[in-house]
Amino acid sequence: MTERSTVTTTPYTIGVAPFRPGDEPSFGGSFKEQPEDLGRPDPASCATEDTAAHAKGLIRVLTDDGEAKGEWDPNLDAETLIQGLEYMMRLRIFDDRMMKMQRTGKLSFYMRSYGEEAIAIAQTMALKEQDWLFPSYRQPGAQFVRGRDMVSMICHCIGNTEDNVRGRQMPVHYTWREGRFISISSPVGTQFSQAVGVAMASAYKGDDEACITWLGDGTSAQGDYHYALNFASTFKPPVILNVVNNQWAISTHVSLATGGRTFAERGLAYDIPSLRVDGNDFLALYSVTQWARERASAGLGPTHIEVYTYRAGAHSSSDDPSAYRPGNEFECWPGGDPVERLRDHLMNIGVWDEKKDKALAEKIDAEVMSAYKAACEFGDLASGPYPPASTIFTEVYETVPWHVQEQREELGK
């Protein structure tokens, strides 16, 4: 792992980012951890202490040369891998298009998943369709896996008449009941402990369901993170708790988020089996999630996962990372680019080539463009139409109470 950088001063120790604008970043080349370093314990009999090395180390499957190695190789067929690549490419192209829309005033706000595309996509693919998703704002890719229509997603981002949350939330705060994708909430971390409650209800009803949830390294300072671990440890429901350590919480480097060891190791103290995984390695992500799901199915309760990655883009469309980190930091990241790594692997095993890749990218790009145009048919940001003003007053309660009804009449719309 990257060592925490600090300066010792009086009277505190202050964490510092290893590199700031103007510095030449270096993370020491490639990861020293290799795919064959760590074995895959039997999920049905694994005790927390059996994961101590996994919490401290780094679970990888793809080598730097794009080969799949070691016990954690999920041995996925080519079709599944190509599907994963397709979802990741779709998310990246979708994000780029939406970001352009934001920059030209067609969306009020946007957040990309750049550099973290593998996470929600591989992890959701490793789950069952009845499993619940309690994401943060950088896991919209899960919706592609579950088959959400892009037109519907873009309508939400615009906030037009077909926005399923009726223009009530900022862009990227997706909600999708059919995909068991909970409504994204801006106060970060709140979903983490809620997910434990969802999983407790699944256990109570005896349903074969798990709940997966994600939050960031910065958010892991919130009480909700610790509530979640403690309640999960206490009641042992089928929940998969992921800390996406992408190094940056807006401008706050992970060195300021904790003075502790790896995020994964925190789980050990709660007696929750805990793994640390290369978040840019599609195969490793798929594999650890499948492992956690097997534990859930076996009635063994929670798994805690640190997803070690790098936030390649800005925090959001309102953020400018050039003010606080070197522009080329991502190029030096040992985990590389998750899309390129899976693509290289597929080429390595002979099921993918440049021509197929180009054709797929073009196909997705056309689909995104056409989805965008279709979404704008239901209203654009500049001129609408927007959801009717009456939607301000509906769904506050199951039925509209008198005082809300009076205010609606006062507005007269």
- The vertex-396 CA angle with 392 and 400, nearest 5°, equals 90
Residue 332: CB atoms within 10 A of its CB come to 16
Q: Which residue's CB is nearer to other proteins, number 186 or number 328?
A: 186
Give CA torsion, residues 391, 392, 396, 397, to 10 deg.
-50
Q: How far is the CB of 248 from other proteins (least distance, A)?
A: 24
Q: How far is the CB of 22 from other proteins (least distance, A)?
A: 39
Q: Which residue's CB is nearer to other proteins, number 170 or number 351?
A: 170
Q: Which helix (H) or strand (E) holds 372?
A: helix 354-376
Q: Sort 213 into a burial class: Cβ within 10 Å, 0-12 / 13-18 / 19+.
A: buried
Q: How far is the CB of 398 from other proteins (least distance, A)?
A: 5
- The dihedrals phi and psi of 243, each to the nearest 5 degrees, come to -100, 115
Q: Which residue's CB is nearer to other proteins, number 123 or number 213?
A: 213
Q: Which residue's CB is nearer to other proteins, number 178 or number 331?
A: 178
- In order, the DSSP letters of 182-212 are PPP-SSTTHHHHHHHHHHHHHHHHT-S--EE
Q: How far is the CB of 107 from other proteins (least distance, A)?
A: 18
- Quote the CA–CA distance of 316 and 233 in Å, as a whole number: 33
Q: How far is the CB of 156 from other proteins (least distance, A)?
A: 9
Q: Which residue's CB is nearer to other proteins, number 78 or number 396?
A: 396
Q: Which residue's CB is nearer to other proteins, number 93 or number 272?
A: 272
Could you give the C-alpha distances from 33 to 54, 61, 336, in angstroms and in order?
A: 11, 10, 14
DSSP letter at 68 equals: B
Q: How far is the CB of 180 from other proteins (least distance, A)?
A: 9
Q: What does the chain come to in residues?
A: 413
**What does the binding site for other proteins look like in residue numbers (CB under 8 A)?**
132, 163-166, 168-169, 173, 175-177, 182-183, 185, 187, 190, 192-202, 204-205, 209, 211, 223-224, 227-228, 230-231, 234, 394-398, 401-404
Q: How far is the CB of 47 from other proteins (least distance, A)?
A: 22
The whole-angstrom distance between residue 352's C-alpha and the CA centroid of its chain comes to 26
Q: Which residue's CB is nearer to other proteins, number 73 or number 224?
A: 224
